[in-house]
Structure 1
Amino acid sequence: MIETTSTRADTRSRIVEVAAQLLREQGPSAVTTRGVAEAAGVQAPTIYRLFGDKDGLLEAVAEHTMAGFVSAKAAVVAAASADDVDPLDDLRSGWLSQIEFGVANPTLFALMSDPARVIHSPAARSGREVLEARVHRIALAGRLRVSEPRAVKLIQSAGTGVIQTQLSTPPSERDAGLADDMFEAVLARILTDAPEREANTDTVTAATIAFRAVATKLDALTEAERMLLTDWLDRALELEQTRQRKNL
């Protein structure tokens, strides 16, 4: 039988789905070349030909599983935006789902946390874009006191730390409130208080960030003018954040 591009893709997809199921139900020890080949109804050499080795197969499984998880999160963000769900509630929901997913899938988390892998991962990139969308909604609401990119990095770093800490702790000794407390700590660093009548440093910064969030969509300006405006706002935010760090 001559293998076509379509049949090759179908075979690859079937193998990945079978391996993902074995990983989910029986753990990493079940994902052997022989076991996956038998469950998928193929010969072991097929796996080597399509994935190189077991590590290549695991990477494909991680990418496949993460892509499905991220796609579901993107749909939630889109629905939250359309239904005008509070952006902080949306961010909290995304944070908790990410923590739960990482703790429930330690092998996948380890694979997707490897800098050498994640930097080239489409699923990881899509995941960042989902988080960026959530943070952008908070910026539009005038609630950020740091730039959007910095808020994203702080949330990512804290989330990774929580998952690593929980996974390195025996299940019976894990702190059930750690994720919530860490989330509140991050919010305290990235959010302003509720808007007040009297402007202060935080509210001015929040207004600048909110303006930055919509600046690229000001159709009344030319592209060059929008770029210049966003550059000014970025410089103002960078100077303000430098000043804040010096005062800590």
Structure 2
Amino acid sequence: MTEVVVSTKAKLLEAAARLLAESNGAPITTRAICDLAAVQAPTLYHHFGDKQGLLDAVVAYGFERYLRVKRAHAPSEDPIEDIRSGWDDHVEFALANPSFYAVMYGQVTPGKRPAAAADAEGLLRSLLTRAAGRGRLAVAPEAAAPLILAANVGVALALIATPPDDRDVTVSDRARDAILAYVVRADASSGAELADGGGTENPVAVSAIALHAALSAGEPTVLEPNEVALLRDWLRRLSG
């Protein structure tokens, strides 16, 4: 019984995602969704309440599928290489699931995003925090994360919008390396150096970024909470 329910819900989600991706912004009807999924309208209402409930579920479902891919990879010893691989996984997921991806990132509501989207950014920020703690970042994690994500999403959407025969997937490689060259310290020692260049090479800023990341791992017991808050503020200003 459970398998049938899951299959029906999945069919509705897939149908809605496909119609949304092909609609070019035009409204889609409940009837069209049900016809494509080969179910009756009461089935949609039973699982999602109404059409908007279904559309919200489509976005959440897409992010959950994406997060399963991300979480399937155990972290390596090199957080920068993990970020690099994460970029490639992101683009690969987009090209393998263009309908879902177009809904997840191409049709957004201003000021609103699914909780799963925040989870995805959280995974990236945790890798950046690890890298910062090792003195390998020239940009603070909280500034680097949205920069990397924005570039990653932009590249993925551009590739999806390009006819398959005309796609140049090396665009993703070049964009990835350019972003990482800005975020990662040029002189950071690593078993897999990414690129020359980098963001600000101010040694004070780099040290501030590393110490701020280390504080994220645990509060120092020798300082009072207000002193920790003040220290964090100083480090944020120094890292900028």
TM-score, normalised to structure 1's length? Answer: 0.75
Partner of 2:48: 51
Which 5+ residue runs of structure 1 have no aligned equivalent? Answer: 1-6, 239-248
Shift of 1:90: 0.6
In the alignment, the residues of structure 2 paired with residue 193 and residue 218 of structure 1 have an alpha-carbon distance, to the nearest angstrom, of 30
Going from structure 1 to structure 2, the CA distance change for 1:11 and 1:227 (only over 3 Å counts) comes to: farther
Letter in 1 for 2:181: A
Higher relative contact order (CA 8 A, sep 6+): 2
Over residues 203-246 of structure 1, what are the superposed CA-to-partner deviations in whole Å (9 max), with x where a residue is unaligned? 332221010101242332232221111011112223xxxxxxxx
1:202 aligns with 2:199: no
1:140 aligns with 2:133: yes
In the alignment, the residues of structure 2 paired with residue 118 and residue 171 of structure 1 have an alpha-carbon distance, to the nearest angstrom, of 32
CA-based RMSD of the aligned residues comes to 3.1
In the alignment, the residues of structure 2 paired with residue 72 and residue 22 of structure 1 have an alpha-carbon distance, to the nearest angstrom, of 21
Q: Number of residue pairs matched?
A: 217
Shift of 1:75: 4.8
Partner of 1:100: 92
Partner of 2:35: 34
SS in 2 for 1:143: coil
What percent identity do the matched residue pairs reach?
31
Shift of 1:52: 4.6
Partner of 1:165: 158
Letter in 2 for 1:209: I
Shift of 1:33: 0.9
In the alignment, the residues of structure 2 paired with residue 19 and residue 121 of structure 1 have an alpha-carbon distance, to the nearest angstrom, of 19
Which 5+ residue runs of structure 2 have no aligned equivalent? Answer: 23-31, 190-199
For residues 175-214 of structure 1, the aligned pairs below 5 Å read: 175-195=168-188, 201-214=201-214
Q: Which structure has more helix as a fraction of its residues?
A: 1
In the alignment, the residues of structure 2 paired with residue 88 and residue 123 of structure 1 have an alpha-carbon distance, to the nearest angstrom, of 23
Over residues 113-147 of structure 1, what are the superposed CA-to-partner deviations in whole Å (9 max), with x where a residue is unaligned? 23317833011111111111121121112111111
Residues 18, 36 of structure 1: 8 Å contact kept: yes
Going from structure 1 to structure 2, the CA distance change for 1:104 and 1:138 (only over 3 Å counts) comes to: same
In the alignment, the residues of structure 1 paired with residue 41 and residue 126 of structure 2 have an alpha-carbon distance, to the nearest angstrom, of 42
